[in-house]
Amino acid sequence: MLNNKNIVITGAGSGIGRATSLLAARYGANVCCVDLTDGVQVTADEIQAAGGKALAVRANVAEEAEVEAFVQQCVDHYGRIDGIYANAGVSGGGKSVTELTVADWQRTLGVNTVGVFLAVKHSLKHFLAQGHGAILCTASVAALRANAGGVDYSASKAGVVSIVQTTAYQTYGSGVRINAICPGLIETGMTKPTFDRARERGTEDKIGQINPMKRFGQPNEIGEMACFLLSDRASYVNGQAVPVDGGLSSSHPWVYPRN
Ligand SMILES: NC(=O)c1ccc[n+]([C@@H]2O[C@H](COP(=O)([O-])OP(=O)(O)OC[C@H]3O[C@@H](n4cnc5c(N)ncnc54)[C@H](O)[C@@H]3O)[C@@H](O)[C@H]2O)c1
């Protein structure tokens, strides 16, 4: 599905980014794995051990010079960039609106929204010049409705959806596609505290019950959609924020049966 595609994936050291990197390589992509942490090397090593091609880059997606550099590094290493998955993100910690500081907002939006903007800006230079490219971003169901994060996190992800919609029109007729995925609750590094708390209380079986699939999701279930949207199989999908959430965002308020 992704044969000979050179793809940058941010947040590749953990969770959704790591799962998508491994899957993309399995589908034939040459992956440029980016993360702040050493986990990015573990992901790249695993891809290479399985016979795939991967480059590990330690970088901060919130710093413009670093984003410009890792996009260029992909081009220099593989000869071209075909896609980018701007996936790195932070939860913001879930403080209430009255407790949040401006510094909290700047930290959350700095990674989740500015980081996505920078990935779009610096990859687009290459995509517009070559007349093709696929951009994918991780938003969240928090971008669509309340109760999936704090106001800083939710606003940061609504911003991602807006970047996607607006950029789709600013790249009118260019051959570039841009989309977002809105994951529901997925078991990753980011949600580990929620899962740890539930396991301590013995309420793990309650996690994810409020969607009609009655369970939380796994990183691979986002990764499969990500690989599809990055591939030419999604050639007519553009400007969309696609929920992958077990059906959570499809409902009006609802109380699940307790029997
Ligand atoms: N897990 C969920 O339930 C869920 C739901 C909706 C959306 N998301 C989104 O999915 C994306 C991936 O998160 P995850 O759940 O896999 O969490 P995760 O914590 O497992 O992975 C996030 C990765 O992003 C990296 N990262 C954070 N800030 C960075 C920065 N400034 N520069 C470079 N890398 C940075 C982290 O080091 C980490 O490896 C995030 O954008 C998150 O908001 C997650």
**pLDDT tens digits along 163-203:** 999 999 999 999 999 999 999 999 999 999 999 999 999 99
Verify whether ligand 1 is closer than 6 Å to residue 36 (CB atom).
Answer: yes
- Residues recognised as catalytic: 153
Q: Is residue 235's pLDDT more than 90? A: yes
Verify whether ligand 1 is closer than 6 Å to residue 140 (CB atom).
Answer: yes
* Overall average pLDDT of the 53-68 stretch: 98
Q: Is residue 256's pLDDT more than 80? A: no
- pLDDT interval class at 259 (50, 70, 90): low
Looking at residue 129, its amino acid is A
pLDDT of amino acid 154? 98
Q: Which of 10, 16, 87, 191 to mutate to test the pocket of ligand 1 (most atoms within 8 A of CB)?
A: 16
pLDDT of amino acid 251? 92
- pLDDT interval class at 255 (50, 70, 90): confident
Q: pTM of the predicted model, to two decimals?
A: 0.98
Topology (CATH) of 6-187+219-244: Rossmann fold (3.40.50)
In the chain, where the domains are located: 6-187+219-244
Verify whether ligand 1 is closer than 6 Å to residue 135 (CB atom).
Answer: no
Q: How far is the CA of 206 from the centre of ligand 1 (A)?
A: 23
HSE (CB half, 13 Å, CA atoms) of 125?
11
- pLDDT interval class at 253 (50, 70, 90): confident
* Overall average pLDDT of the 130-140 stretch: 99
Verify whether ligand 1 is closer than 6 Å to residue 40 (CB atom).
Answer: no
pLDDT of amino acid 122? 98
79-112 pLDDT, tens digit each? 999 999 999 999 999 899 999 999 999 999 999 9
pLDDT of amino acid 224? 99
